[in-house]
Amino acid sequence: MIVPKENNAAFQGNITVINKENSSDYCMIPVTLTTPLSQNIEHHWFLARLLVLFPHAFPILRYLMGF
């Protein structure tokens, strides 16, 4: 997943799921994303502590938080 770096911004779009056996059979799913005011890890002290204590246990969380 790629998240925009703009702080305090809202984005919207659609995810289209298409049946590979019948391209006329599809579904569009609306999605929205709101970015936080800041990405400062100190605001998430509990999560930061977990990432320090268990550096290899949460790779997706580390990636999403930019830690």
Give the model confidence (pLDDT) of 1-57 as tens digits.
566 677 778 889 999 999 999 999 999 999 988 877 655 555 567 777 777 787 777
Q: What's the CA angle centered on 7, arms 64 and 40, to 5 degrees?
A: 55
Q: Is this prediction's pTM over 0.75?
A: no
Residue 65 DSSP SS3: helix
Q: Are 66 and 59 in contact (CB under 8 A)?
A: no
The candidate with the shortest Cα–Cα distance to 41, out of 58, 62, 7, 65, is 65
The candidate with the shortest Cα–Cα distance to 65, out of 3, 11, 6, is 3
